[in-house]
Amino acid sequence: MAKIKTGVSNSDRGNDEIRGIEVTLDFTQNALASLLYCQGETHVLVCITKATSLPRWFPRDADRGWVHAEYSLLPGSTDTRFRRERSGAKGRTHEIERLVARSMRGAVDLDQLGPVALTVDCDVLNADGGTRCASITAANIGLRLAIRRLIASGECLPADLRLSRDDVRKGVAPPVLSEEKQAEHESAVMANDVAALSVGMVGGEVRTDLDYDLDSNADVDMNVVMTSDGGFVEVQGTGEEATYTREELDAMVDAATAGIAKLHTLQASVLDDAS
């Protein structure tokens, strides 16, 4: 299992410092790609799986793919047992699932992906603030690794090289791309990475990467999702019994932008030699 560790993890970190991050690739064996992502004491298990077919609502002859996401807090992830949502995702969970899915689709060209359906499962093993942001950052790592493996196996190919349905039924072997062509197609499917970070106003100061203690004391809480080319997928900012000025808004977005740039660097380094 590949491992990378970076950053600081003590409670005395500076206002602009991100919690210590540790990533373990291929944490489970059965998924197409998986990882354990630890950002401070927030620990998320991400698994990427490939469905046997596209969603039922897709046209039968669809030549583009889909990325779906599910998110859950496991019962022991919080200080009191979090009850399983056995009848389906409820309010907050459903909102986060949609956010993770939108973020992943913001990083993937579904036409270049081809007729492939992927599910991103994010299970929070331990929650200490920023679980949705950690899930997005971790999910991107797993998704890129999964796509890299699909390309290597011939299950994700450029449009002009894809097998027809008749070819697949006849057992025709898919073409094998050179390493250069594999990297080229990966860049076409995922031109950018996507990462997310929480920021906020705590005691009149902008703080980056809010853990539970900071989040519970924040006057303003903001989640920012960005692509590695500087685009925004989503900005969620809420005054917690407080308002905030335009200057404070700009300062929080600037802090998030700087922090997310560090996360993009981390994502790239984790996957440098992964296959």
Task: Please state the domain count of the chain.
Answer: 1
**pLDDT category, 167, cuts 50, 70, 90?**
confident
Is 129 part of any domain? Answer: yes
Residue in the structure block whose two tokens are 């100061």: 205
At 4, the pLDDT band (50, 70, 90 cuts) reads low
Return d(Cα 104, Cα 69) in angstroms, integer.
8
pLDDT at 275 over 90: no
Is residue 196 assigned to a domain? no
In a domain, 201, yes or no: no
CATH code for the domain in which residue 186 is found: 3.30.230.70
Sign of CA dihedral 44, 42, 256, 72: positive
User: 6-20, 87-101, 186-200: lowest mean pLDDT where?
Assistant: 6-20
Question: Which range marks the domain in which residue 45 is found?
Answer: 3-191
Give the percent of the chain with pLDDT over 70: 92
Residue 113 has pLDDT above 50, yes or no: yes
Domain assignment present for 207: no
Could you tell me if residue 216 is inside a domain? no
Question: Is residue 211 included in any domain, yes or no?
Answer: no
DSSP letter at 273 equals T
243 within some domain: no
Is there a contact between 208 and 256 (Cβ–Cβ < 8 Å)? yes
CA nearest neighbour of 106 among 37, 190, 198: 190
Tokens at residue 5, please? 């560790």
In a domain, 267, yes or no: no
Largest CA distance in the chain: 66
How many CB atoms within 10 Å of residue 171?
Answer: 6
Instruction: Say which residue, 77 or 206, is predicted with more confidence.
Output: 206
pLDDT band at 60 (very low <50, low <70, confident <90, very high): confident
- 214: tokens are 């900071």
